[in-house]
Structure 1
Amino acid sequence: MLDFETWQQVLALYADYACVVDNNEWDKWPEFFVDDCTYRIQPRENFDRGFPLATLAFESKGMLKDRVYGMTETIFHDPYYQRHVVGVPRILRVDGERIDAQANYAVFRTKPDELTTVFNVGRYVDTIRRTPEGLRFESKICVFDSEMIANSIIYPI
């Protein structure tokens, strides 16, 4: 059963997640996940059909930390800022230590000296786990709506 305290914690998890990725606090990003997590950015068509192909797929917090290293130390790209607008999450199921939730999102990208553009739009399909440290994502699937995406996704969605 969903109680008010859990609802507030879920809202805070989504708000804090968006704040960290918008502020480029990359060392904090993996800490939103349990060690044995899944993080995928996947086209809607593949997700809806049950196809496993994803644009990005990571299967542990260690892989997320590797991505942070790659983003900050090895990948060369034009700098940009991103801003998330995340809808109010829908709690689909609460089962002991797990919460299934979904939230719509829109990510806007701004490059220096350019106008802001819509970068990615879709929905988060999440499984959240209660831990001693608070709520953490066990699985975060970013299901994007468009069949067309930017030629490179550097930062987490």
Structure 2
Amino acid sequence: MIDFKTYFELLNLYSDYAMVCDSAEWEKWPEFFIEDGCYRLQPRENHDSGLPLCLLALESKAMIRDRVYGVKETMYHDPYYQRHVVGTPRVISVARDLYGERIVSEANYVVIRTKLDGESTVYNAGYYHDEIVRTPEGLKLRSRLCVYDTEMIANSIIYPI
């Protein structure tokens, strides 16, 4: 288990991540990850079946930064707001490895999308499966796997989940 101070840091990591995504501060998004951190979106059916196919797989912080560049500079899409509702993280395990302290945790999420000229709708729902490590800058994501519940998703996922 982890102590209260570490759990409070974990809560802040989840909360700060959601706020950065919801406020469109894309240049801050990569800073939640270590240099060789990864971010993946995977349908639940594939995850539960042990199939590796993901909708999106960014395998390093450099790839995550490249995605930010794409979101800000090259992708054309109807703008929208998003709002994350993230459940309380559940600590699965705590171990020590070559990264030092490693926390494996999960939390449910719902992302609500609001188009500028439309209503708010549930955009994506699922859970995060995270591997988190302690760095000199605090807790960072070694990996974030977003396992979404449905095969029926929006035509494109532009912003981070």
TM-score range, shorter chain: over 0.9
Equivalent in the alignment of 2:43? 43
Question: Which residue of 120, 123, 138 corresponds with 1:119?
Answer: 123
CA-to-aligned-CA distance 1:28-66 (integer Å, 9 cap, x gap): 000000000111000001111111111110000000000
Shift of 1:151: 0.6
Which amino acid in structure 1 is aligned with residue 19 of structure 2? C
Distance in 1 of aligned mates of 2:73 and 2:51 = 32
SS of alignment partner, residue 95 of structure 1? strand
| Residue 130 of structure 1 pairs with residue 134 of structure 2 | yes
Q: CA RMSD in A?
A: 0.6
Q: Which residue of 2 aligns with 1:59?
A: 59
2:113 is aligned to 109
SS in 1 for 2:68: helix
CA distance in 2: counterparts of 1:46 and 1:8, whole angstroms: 32
User: Partner residue of 2:18?
Assistant: 18
User: Can you list the C-alpha shifts for 1:110-138, whole angstroms capped at 9, x where unaligned?
Assistant: 00120100000000000001111100000
Provide the rounded CA distance (Å) in 2 between the counterparts of 1:4 and 1:118. 33
1:102 positional shift: 0.1
Identity, % of aligned positions? 62
Q: Matched residues in 2 for 1:29 and 1:38: separation?
A: 12
Aligned to 1:149: 153
Does residue 20 of structure 2 align to residue 3 of structure 1? no
TM (normalized to structure 2)? 0.96
Q: Which amino acid is 1:140 matched to?
A: R
Unaligned runs of 5+ in 1: none
Aligned counterparts of 2:58 and 2:83: Cα–Cα separation in 1: 22
Provide the rounded CA distance (Å) in 1 between the counterparts of 2:32 and 2:80.
23
Superposed structure 1 runs of 4+ greater than 6 Å apart: none
